[in-house]
């Protein structure tokens, strides 16, 4: 026989897991009471989903959700099931009462749902669930409503026939006699779950003897926390000092541990060391952008405003937020107009006759260590910089799988984009940059943003020096440099990202960039 313990927040979910329980009961009463409302569907199902998301993130235990009556008819319920599956919740329990529900322990002769309607709700949920392990549990309220054992058994059999994975038989009597009688008559046709909140004096072995599969301790974390808070408040009001309560409350270190402070500290050591301490920024912004017409007569396109801030200004702000403050901007056309504060400006005097690789070589003359490289004509959401940290290779590119045949820098990778979760452990690498648009071998478009470790920066500098010696540097773009490295065996990681960025080449791009930002 398994045991589920009630939780109503991420914190209480962690405590349940810490205690060693097999699973969590996400109590509707407890979640409602935590937010100061009644257990009467005053909490919306979207608010419940928000709370469940925190609980699911905080604990690895399976969560069985108290779904009340399913929040409406079959259509409401199947949408609720879909959203629960998306959040990794293990199952939902619904009761055969009328929406909006009344708590089972309040009032008498509560109306019950029509059996056929409730069976349809169960079938709709089973047809909607997105993974085979998701469970729909039917809670029979006939005993609560005073309808007797025969009605309870009739309903339970109908719900099992409709596809319910388990049955909760509920009672508000202090004696477990009618619960035990139900279990004997039921004869283990489907798993039975008990909630002995009212008949708590009954020895647990009695539940085992009649074949119960699971027991839920339904609201005891909530109730114990209420008593603890009252005791602490009363003592502090009386004594007006912390001395007498400090030994009876959890230490702050315990709070930090439950909130995951240790994991954050380890993550900071892993990620911030690469960005805050040593990483430098490089922005290649030497071109005019003739297709923007009069907008670039007196300034390069990196200085064209997007919603009140220049493209370059947006990039510098994003890098600063990510902890990158030493930023080199390679200017060229109208370099005097590149006036964003907080940058080190390098001028490519030959910008009209050289390409990106020559500008990159100029920037890297003053760089030593990790870097983030960006084209000066892209706008992107700041979280993109965090995506570059998802891989540990020395060079990491962001690639949009939707831009492969039409974009500026199409690339071929070791594997195409896939949202198949079974491929989560397989990571794509760059094979080469594809020459020309429309090539069907392309797996996406490099958006013009990469991260290089200190070793990756050294590899780039060495390759640029070799190209300079060969005489091929002047006309080369960044893609040519990266392709050469990939062909020599350098592992260049690819992180796929869809949308939330724009390469600004013409007025249409600019309009779309303004809309997307």
Residues designated catalytic: 39
SS (H, E, C) 327-392: EEEEEECEHHHCCCCCCEEEECCCCCCCCHHHHHHHHHCCCCCCEEEEECCEEECCCHHHHHHHCC
Contact criterion met (CB below 8 Å) for 30 and 37:
no
Interacting residues of 41 by C-beta distance below 8 A, sequence separation 6+: 68, 69, 71, 99, 100, 101
Tokens of 175: 């004696």
Q: Using CA of residue 357, residue 363, residue 368, residue 370, what is the dihedral sign?
A: negative
Kindly state the DSSP code that residue 98 receives in the 8-state scheme. Answer: P
**Closest alpha carbon to 35 in 24, 50, 23:** 50
State residue 95 phi and psi, 5-degree precision: -110, 150
| 513: helix, strand or coil | helix
Kindly state the DSSP code that residue 493 receives in the 8-state scheme. Answer: E
Alpha carbon distance 157, 358 (integer Å): 77
Interacting residues of 499 by C-beta distance below 8 A, sequence separation 6+: 400, 402, 516
Kindly state the DSSP code that residue 275 receives in the 8-state scheme. Answer: I
Residue located via tokens 């009386």:
238
Alpha carbon distance 36, 406 (integer Å): 54
SS (H, E, C) 258-276: HCCHHHHHHHHHHHHHHHH
Residues 174, 143, 7: CA angle, nearest 5 degrees: 65
Alpha carbon distance 492, 397 (integer Å): 7
| 277: helix, strand or coil | helix
Total number of residues shown for the chain: 517
Alpha carbon distance 317, 311 (integer Å): 10
């Amino acid at each position: 026989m398994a045991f589920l313990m009630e939780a109503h927040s991420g914190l209480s979910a962690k405590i349940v897991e810490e205690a060693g329980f097999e699973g969590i009961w996400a109590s509707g009463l407890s979640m409602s009471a935590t937010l100061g409302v009644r257990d009467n569907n005053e909490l919306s199902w979207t608010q419940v989903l928000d709370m469940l998301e925190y609980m699911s993130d905080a604990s690895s235990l399976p969560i069985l959700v108290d779904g009340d009556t399913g929040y409406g008819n079959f259509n409401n319920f199947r949408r609720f099931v879909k959203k629960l599956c998306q959040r990794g919740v293990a199952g939902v329990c619904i009761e055969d009462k009328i929406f909006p529900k009344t708590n089972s322990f309040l009032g008498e002769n509560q109306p019950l749902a029509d059996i056929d309607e409730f069976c349809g709700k169960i079938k709709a949920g089973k047809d909607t669930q997105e993974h085979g392990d998701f469970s729909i549990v039917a809670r029979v309220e006939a005993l609560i409503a005073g309808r007797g054992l025969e009605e309870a058994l009739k309903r339970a059999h109908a719900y099992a026939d409709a596809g319910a994975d388990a049955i909760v038989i509920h009672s508000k009597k202090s004696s477990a006699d009618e619960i035990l009688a139900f279990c004997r008559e039921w004869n283990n046709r489907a798993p039975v779950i008990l909630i002995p909140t009212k008949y708590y004096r009954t020895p647990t072995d009695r539940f085992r003897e009649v074949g119960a599969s699971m027991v839920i301790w339904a609201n005891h974390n909530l109730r114990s926390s209420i008593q603890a808070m009252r005791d602490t408040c009363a003592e502090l009001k009386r004594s007006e000092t912390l001395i007498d309560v400090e030994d009876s409350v959890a230490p702050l270190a315990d709070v930090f541990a439950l909130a995951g402070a240790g994991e954050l500290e380890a993550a900071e050591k892993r990620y911030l060391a690469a960005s805050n301490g040593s990483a430098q920024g490089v922005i290649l912004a030497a071109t005019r952008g003739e297709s923007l017409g009069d907008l670039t007569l007196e300034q390069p396109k990196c200085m064209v405003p997007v919603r009140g801030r220049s493209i370059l200004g947006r990039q510098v702000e994003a890098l600063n937020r990510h902890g990158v403050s030493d930023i080199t901007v390679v200017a060229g056309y109208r370099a005097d107009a590149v006036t964003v504060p907080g940058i080190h400006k390098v001028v490519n005097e030959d910008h009209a006759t050289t390409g990106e690789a020559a500008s990159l070589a100029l920037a890297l003359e003053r760089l030593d260590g990790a870097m983030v490289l960006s084209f000066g004509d892209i706008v992107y959401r700041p979280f993109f910089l965090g995506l570059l940290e998802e891989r540990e290779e020395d060079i990491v590119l962001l690639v949009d799988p939707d831009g492969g045949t039409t974009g500026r820098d199409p690339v071929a990778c070791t594997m195409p984009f896939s949202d198949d979760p079974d491929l989560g452990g397989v990571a794509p690498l760059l094979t080469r940059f594809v020459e020309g648009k429309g090539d069907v071998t392309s797996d996406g478009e490099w958006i013009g943003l990469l991260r290089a470790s200190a070793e990756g920066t050294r590899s780039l500098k060495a390759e640029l020096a070799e190209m300079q010696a060969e005489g091929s540097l002047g006309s080369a773009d960044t893609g040519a440099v990266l392709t050469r490295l990939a062909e020599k065996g350098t592992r260049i990681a690819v992180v796929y990202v869809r949308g939330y960025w724009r390469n600004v080449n013409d007025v249409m791009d600019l309009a779309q960039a303004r809309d997307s930002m």
